[in-house]
Each structure stands twice: as C-alpha cells, then as structure tokens.
Structure 1
C-alpha cells in the first residue's frame, strides 16, 4: 500500500496504490469524491483516488509518499463506507525505506554481475534482494526500499524477479535516495556500522 500526496504537482488528490497492475487493463468506478481503480478481468482493486483530500483530511501534507495516521485512515475508511464501497484501506504503519544488514551475498546463478542477498530489515525479518552494485557484499549496513516504498523519483517498489530469481525490494544508492551531495559514482550507499537495522532512513538528514 503506497499513499502519495503532492498538492502542487497533482492537485488536492490522495493517491492510494494497492497493487501493481502490470500493464493489465483497468476500469474505474467513481462515487462522490472517491474513484476505485480495478483490474477489468479480475475486479481486483489496484488503486484509489481521493479527490478534495484536504476536505476529508484537513491536516494532510506531503510532497510524495506519505504515511497516514490511524485517525486519518479511519476517516478515509468511514468515507469509503459512506460512499457505498465495501473494501477498507489498511496500512501497517511501518517505514518502507529502512536500514538493512546484508547477512548473505552470493553470485546470481544466471548473471555475471548480479548478486543475490539475504538482507535483514527489521526484527529478524529477512528479504531476498537481487542487487547489481559492484560494492555489494556480506556484512554491509545498507539502505533498503521495501515493497510498498516510493522512491524520490516516483518509482514504486514491488516484489519482482531478476533473471528468474525473486527479489523483494531494492538496495539503494545515495543518488537513488536523493541524499544531499550524493556522489555521481555508481554503487550502493554503505552506512556506518553504528546505525540500527530497521530504523527509517531519512535522506535529507543524512550527511555524507
């Protein structure tokens, strides 16, 4: 679930992305100020567009991916019910771009430049992530964009596969994270050992 809001660029609309449509045909159903976007073939909801969002959620702010409070989420679901929708929008409230630790790093079985990592992201949770950076290695503290993350350039992170190997996120470079003064050189951002695994990574506050 990805919530995004940027009044200046998009207008007063809260965009809620539920799933990756993967190029499948979609249809839309509008009730009041809410539009449901769903797959034509399966009727699966893939997104919600909440128009006049600041009227429903007066304290909404943001410039990209945002995280709703429990009260905002409750107000949003109350409005869905009022408009006759039967689904509810949920969110685990956990940060999506976090400090990770590369527990294992092995060569990809079908590539000479990709690596397959087992990367811890929080409280023992380990994600398999395929990475193409030359400086990836076991034992690094890194920044992980988990599924459900939106990158500064608008790229949304979903589960996927690279050359047939499942990849559940992305290990990020400083430039991908829009870290101030990010170097142009390629490679993932290597974090100090002292940073705690699972904590949210705030790019604008990070000093290279």
Structure 2
C-alpha cells in the first residue's frame, strides 16, 4: 500500500509517502540527502518517506493527495537506490472508493450500536468492516472506502480493530464523502449499482 500527498504550503515542497500506520512514539527517522526514511523502532520496517524539494524530481502541481504514476515511482526508486536503501516502492492505482454489497450484517457482541458486516467490493472479494451507522443492513449497496483511501477531510483509512474485531475499510456517509447529507447514517445507493464500480469523490 502506497499513500502519497504533496505539501507545497505548510511544509514547502515536500512529498509525503506512507506505507503503513504507526504511532509516532514508535518511529525513528534517518535522512540521506533530500529523503527522510521513517521506520519502526523495534522491527525496522519502513513506515514511509518524506522527499524534500520534491519539485526538483517530480512534476507535482496540486497540494493534497496525489496519485503517482509508474514513471514517478520508478524515479523515486532510483533515488532510494542512489542513497543505498534497498527498499522498493510499488504503484497502487486501484480505486479506493467503490460500490459495495452488504452480504452480512450482525450486531457486535457487547455493543449497542456496532455491527460486523461482510461486504463484497469486487468479484468475490469480501471485506469485514465494523460499522456504527444505525441504518446499515444486509442487502444494501453502499460506498466503501478501502484501506489506503484518503477521505475528503484528509483522514487515511487503515486496517484496524474495534473492540477486538478486525475492520478493513469504512462504510461511508454522504457527509464523509463531501456530499450533501439528506438523511442520517451511511449513504445507501440504488440496488442497481454495480458492485465494485469505482465511486468518484
């Protein structure tokens, strides 16, 4: 998973690359040239990179989330290699917001509002998502933010757990998608919507 965003205002020409989620107190950094590597203290696993003076290497014009091309990722890999880092970045341009079909919806034990859902997001690909919306139920077509999605407010969707139950994505409300909210809870789509179809945010 590769999540990238560009900041040419507050951080002045910095490309931020996230590969996984990690609490800041568990992070260490190492800088070589214009690249800072962020990694986990214990495991040494790479969390991400910050590329300073990014516009010297890449053509980036907009602030916020960016979708890197294969050519841009290859340039970044060359920079890593030049700095004697053996890590390799890979492109992931799959849609992060898709139409999902709620196959199962069961109350979460010891909770008065959470449900554990099984949602089909592509051909036979099913994810488990814990959802707190009061209007979710089996048989609905909904909008799913997959892991790696960046919400309009900047929130990144990571795999996680709620009350010990794994949750891999988020079922979205209209407000969370930056749309006008006309009713409480998640956005329920017409049943004719195609499962797995990208949803434009």
Whether TM exceeds 0.5 here: the answer is yes
How far, CA to CA, are the matches of 2:6 and 2:138 in structure 1? Answer: 37
Give the Å deviation of 1:192: 2.0
Give every structure 1 segment of 4 or more consecutive aligned residues whose post-TM-superposition deviation is greater than 4 Å: none
Match of 1:206 in 2: none
RMSD: 1.7
How far, CA to CA, are the matches of 1:10 and 1:141 in structure 2? Answer: 40
Q: Structure 1 residues 19, 106: CA separation in 2 closer, same or farther (over 3 Å shift)?
A: same
* Residue range with higher mean Cα deviation, 193-202 or 150-159: 193-202
* Residue range with higher mean Cα deviation, 61-70 or 142-151: 61-70
Match of 1:52 in 2: 53
Does structure 1 retain, via aligned residues, the 8 Å contact 2:14–2:54? yes
Give structure 2 stretches of 5+ with no counterpart.
none
Q: Structure 1 residues 187, 18: CA separation in 2 closer, same or farther (over 3 Å shift)?
A: same
> 1:29-73, CA deviations, whole angstroms, 9 ceiling, x for partnerless residues?
111111101122221111100112222112x24442222111111
Match of 1:201 in 2: 199
Match of 1:4 in 2: 5
* Residue range with higher mean Cα deviation, 194-203 or 67-76: 194-203
The TM-score, its normalising length taken from structure 2, stands at: 0.92
How far, CA to CA, are the matches of 1:129 and 1:202 in structure 2? Answer: 21
Does structure 2 retain, via aligned residues, the 8 Å contact 1:175–1:184? no
Give structure 1 stretches of 5+ with no counterpart.
204-208
How far, CA to CA, are the matches of 1:55 and 1:106 in structure 2? Answer: 52
Give the Å deviation of 1:184: 6.6
The TM-score, its normalising length taken from structure 1, stands at: 0.89
Give the Å deviation of 1:10: 3.8
Does structure 2 retain, via aligned residues, the 8 Å contact 1:100–1:121? yes
Match of 2:41 in 1: 40
How far, CA to CA, are the matches of 1:89 and 1:20 in structure 2? Answer: 16
